[in-house]
Chain A
Amino acid sequence: MSLTQRLSGGTADYLDQRTGIGAAVKNFARKIFPDHWSFLLGEVALYSFVVLLISGVFLTMFFVPSMNETVYQGSFATMHGVTMSEAFKSTLDLSFEVRGGLLMRQIHHWAAVLFMAAIVTHMFRVFFTGAFRKPREINWVVGSVLLTLGLLAGFSGYSLPDDVLSGNGLRIADGVARSIPIIGSYASYLLFGGQFPGHALIPRLFTVHVLLIPGLILALVGLHLLLVVLHKHTQYPGPGRTDRNVVGFPLFPVYVAKAGGFFFIVFAVIALLAATFTINPIWSFGPYDPSPVAAGAQPDWYMLFLEGGLRLTPGWTEFVLGGFTWSFNILIPGVIVPGVLFTTLAIYPFIESWVTGDKREHHVLDRPRNAPVRTGIGVALLVSFLVLALAGSNDIIATNFHLSINDITMFFRLFIFLGPILGFWITKRLCLGLQRRDRELVLHGHETGRILRFADGEYVEVHKVLSEDERWLRVQHESRRPLQIAPETDSRGVVRRGYRKDRFRQRVSQFFYQDRIEPITPAELAAAHPDASQDVHGAMRGAGNTQVGADVPMIEPEVPMIEPAERRP
């Protein structure tokens, strides 16, 4: 035995005698994970978080979370002699005096914006493929909480240097807190320990940002990953994949190498961004003071949905009633709209299981086109976030594209309603169209572009039959039907209890599944091509009506289907 073998054997024996770890190794070392690039999006988020922890620890060694005043005497010319808080000064020193300090700060901030982008992308991948269905509803909720915690971590983090840009963001947060009915002014005092800006804020944000939120995120990420292991990862539909198996590669060595290597790639991309592009140049903003503000006053991108809402909601929505001020111009964009959007996202798995009545486990993912209303809802949500983000950047858009911010604001006031509706409708129609195309493809095969001419002058195009694997991808899905409910009245004409609720449920289910396309069945395929061995005039018989949505399949256009006489070498 070589030295390495002896050492590793000895260590394994030592651990096993004390922990019984052999069983876990046996069960998990060769666990199978399916392979698809879109499964790596969650990993981008996870690895960005690890990078945040590593760079964050570095930063805490030099950052001073205090609002006490001091004077900068360091090397940066435009800050020389300026009075500022200790927090701001320590950030400047970290950037200019500590070797590699600026790199670490920029790694930390780029990793943070990447973390949120990866979470959103990963979440929408899970949404569009229906990976949140049973048994993964809990994991979806855990993920939604992680999204919210990520937002809070980012907001608290970029506010720590106590600069003018983030300080104005905190002022806005104070204004939003104040607008809450009844308790608003007390909420403001609670956050700031008294009047704004006070002296307590930065130390409090530091505790939140460095201890509370990372602790919660770590715990929930652990739970998130544990559930993935317990449930085994989902897989895309394909030949050999069923709801009862996982097809893929083992954890050791393939995914240890691939996923482990991917961590270094993610870190490398973050490091490259930090080496070459400035992010959050606080030396340009200056230390926080309630008087100055700069053009281009935006929060980090993941908070833009709040910022855009605040810019769009017109002032007449605030009114005085009973002597009290009801600030709906702030409550709507700050509390109500985000509340609705995030809650819809968080409870979506339960909405869908309610409309389908489906209690089975699902491990094979949906192709988004096979769930048109779900995909449409997802696009509508994305469009609303995008419109709000663009509205929040309206002054940047105005200066760079020579437009008027007033016009942009008015446009988005309309489009925040119109956009999601249009997005939903267009997406749903696109999905149904793609499903129809799949049916066509299965029935008639690929167009080869080869034209055959017969003696009697007829021209037909040769189509190539789909392979079994290609066909399986397009016929394996189940087309959901609207819920059936028990009849309204019983045999004696008495309306049964709970009918109204069931009827409502059925209506929602119809909204989801009324417009349906069924996958091709063997019978349909056979009907389309009854005599495969016959001559090439085997035109399809079979007719039906053109109704979509009932149990009747689509009419097939009369395209001749020819078996390829020979295969290309």
Chain B
Amino acid sequence: MNAADSSKDLTVRADGGQQPARFENPGVPEHRERLADADPAAAKRAERQVAALFALSTVGTIGFLLAYFLAPPGQSVASIRTSNLLLGLGLTFGLLGIGLGAVHWAKTLMSDHERIEERHPQRSSAADRAGAIAVLKEGAADSGVGVGRRGLLKGALIGAVALLPLSIAVPLIGNIGGDWNTNKFRHTVWRAGRRLARDPSGTAIKASDVTIGSVFHVIPDGLESEAHPLDEKAKAVVLLIRLDPRDLNETPEKKSWSYDGIVAYSKICTHVGCPVALYEQQTHHLLCPCHQSTFDVANGAKVIFGPARRPLPQLPITVDSEGYLVAQSDFHEPIGPSYWERLK
């Protein structure tokens, strides 16, 4: 059976003599010959296998080069996929051949006699330590400063060195934040009379377009002409939903913010800022796909589940003379996630 499993007899002293406190290390086991060590034919076979594996690598690389020149990615999805597959398989075999060959060589042909190397304690010898201390003392003595003034020099040096990085840090930090005007969090581009438009086409929305059960994704009309359209869009996107007015529970002060059952809420989640885009028609719930904050549109978009704390800010809307939906004003609070000074 397996030679490594050979049971050696226990020498148990029956006379109750002194036992060592712990078992002793039996020492490195005997070396066991491999097939390739004992049998020259097996060794030759192993050599041929290694050579064949290296040859596989060559075939793989040639295959890669052929695929590169003869099967480039074309216009169709299938041709891109094929090109990727052929190049990738060529590379895989090119690499695998070398890897398997090298490891197989090591395992079957290279000497596998275990060797023992001594470890030494990490700490340097007592003599080296003493020598290190001695040279440091020598250097300190050479430093030319009397004991009395050492403290002054040390303090002055530390002060100078500690302060110098400010010359790099201050301009880096100072400029890195743009205009540092965080008051921009408080306002969006919505103003009285600005029309609500479809995202992404930009066409204005009439109140009659919005049927019960539908949801419109809204941007301010003329967003493209803003100085920084994406920055403004990131604050101004809105969801437009129409409910049966009987289902809508509005607080008295916000009753005028809706129009005939149509309500508009900020699309930016008050948790960490993802777009709250999922509208469930039957339950009137808005679900944010990032962390599952759920808002109830029929009740002022208050939070009914999930990690958000505050309801979605509501955009007051009405219609203009041609029946298009317009904002009455900007939002009445900063949109999006909370921050320290948000209510100040």
Contact = CB atoms under 8 A, between A and B. Distances in A.
The answer on direct contact between A and B (beta carbons under 8 Å) is yes
B20 interface: yes
A89 B256 CA distance: 45
Contacts of B89: 272, 275
Contact of A329 (B19, B74, B219, B307): B307
Contact of B10 (A241, A253, A290, A532): A532
B84 to A, nearest CB: 5
B21 interface: yes
Nearest to A253: B110
A188 B107 CA distance: 55
Interface stretch (B117-125, B143-151, B202-210): B117-125
Interface in A228-258: 230-232, 239-250, 253-254, 257-258
Name which of A172, A193, A243, A519 has the most chain B CB atoms within 10 A of its CB: A172
A289 B96 contact: no
Interface string A418-453: 000000000000000000000000000000000000
B292 A242 contact: no
Interface in B94-118: 95-96, 98-103, 105-107, 110-112, 114-118
B27 A240 contact: yes
Interface stretch (A58-66, A95-103, A482-490): A95-103
A13 interface: no
Name which of B110, B112, B233 has the most chain A CB atoms within 10 A of its CB: B110
B12 A529 contact: yes
B41 interface: no
A185 interface: yes
Nearest to A237: B25
A542 B173 CA distance: 75
A310 interface: yes
Interface stretch (B131-139, B160-168, B271-279, B320-328): B271-279
A435 B146 CA distance: 63
B259 interface: no
Interface in B1-55: 1, 4-10, 12-14, 16, 19-23, 25-29
B300 interface: no
Nearest to B75: A75
A264 B61 CA distance: 13
B237 interface: yes
A276 B85 contact: yes
Name which of A102, A245, A522 has the most chain B CB atoms within 10 A of its CB: A522
Contact of A275 (B92, B110, B234, B342): B92
A409 B292 contact: yes
Interface string B65-85: 000100011110000100111
B95 A271 contact: yes
Interface string B325-344: 00000000000111111111
Nearest to B303: A315
A551 interface: no
B231 interface: yes
A194 B29 contact: no
A245 B289 contact: no
Contact of A315 (B6, B22, B119, B306): B306
Interface in B272-321: 272-275, 277-278, 289-293, 303, 305-310
Contacts of A471: 23
B154 interface: no
A302 interface: no
B274 A168 contact: yes
A100 B87 CA distance: 7
Contact of B272 (A171, A181, A242, A265): A171
B189 interface: no
Interface in A386-427: 394-395, 405-406, 409
Contacts of B231: 194-198
B20 A522 contact: yes
A200 B93 CA distance: 42
A216 interface: no
Given A316-B309, A532-B14, A472 B26 contact: yes
Interface stretch (A142-150, A318-326, A493-501): A318-326
Name which of B5, B105, B116 has the most chain A CB atoms within 10 A of its CB: B116
A453 to B, nearest CB: 23
A176 B29 contact: no
Contact of B100 (A260, A265, A325, A531): A265
B12 A532 contact: yes
Contact of B98 (A32, A200, A264, A465): A264
Given A361-B121, A533-B14, A240 B337 contact: no
A177 B284 CA distance: 31
Name which of B83, B91, B340 has the most chain A CB atoms within 10 A of its CB: B340
Nearest to B276: A293
B219 A395 contact: no
Interface in A298-323: 307, 310-316, 318, 320, 323
Contacts of B201: none
Given A290-B237, A405-B292, A530-B12, A99 B230 contact: no
Contacts of B93: 268
B115 A250 contact: yes
B176 A325 contact: no
A248 B74 CA distance: 53
A247 B96 contact: no
A354 interface: no
Nearest to A360: B121
Contacts of B105: 257, 261
A253 B103 CA distance: 11
Interface string A174-187: 11101111111110
B193 interface: no
Contacts of A192: 178
B246 interface: no
A315 B274 contact: no
Contacts of A97: 73
B338 A315 contact: no
A537 to B, nearest CB: 15
B273 A174 contact: yes
Contacts of A563: 9-10
A532 B11 CA distance: 8
A160 interface: no
A194 B179 contact: yes
A261 B99 contact: yes
A178 to B, nearest CB: 4
A469 B85 contact: no
Contacts of B228: 195, 198
A372 to B, nearest CB: 21
B337 A295 contact: no
Given A190-B173, A242-B25, A261-B106, A198 B178 contact: yes
A32 B117 contact: yes
Contact of A185 (B9, B217, B340): B340
A476 B23 contact: yes
Contacts of B23: 471-472, 475-476, 520-522
B242 interface: no
Contacts of A409: 292, 305-306
Given A290-B234, A290-B237, A523-B19, 13 more contacts: A179-B338, A185-B341, A240-B28, A249-B115, A261-B102, A268-B91, A274-B84, A293-B275, A311-B306, A324-B340, A476-B25, A526-B19, A534-B14
7 contacts: A188-B182, A249-B112, A260-B102, A314-B307, A363-B119, A476-B23, A526-B13
Interface of A: 31-32, 75, 95-97, 99-100, 102-103, 106, 135, 168, 171-172, 174-176, 178-186, 188-190, 192-198, 200, 230-232, 239-250, 253-254, 257-258, 260-268, 271-272, 274-276, 289-297, 307, 310-316, 318, 320, 323-325, 327, 329-330, 361, 363, 394-395, 405-406, 409, 464-472, 475-476, 519-523, 525-526, 529-534, 563-564, 567-568
Closest 10 CB pairs of A and B: A275-B88, A175-B272, A261-B102, A240-B28, A264-B99, A194-B178, A290-B234, A265-B99, A257-B106, A268-B95
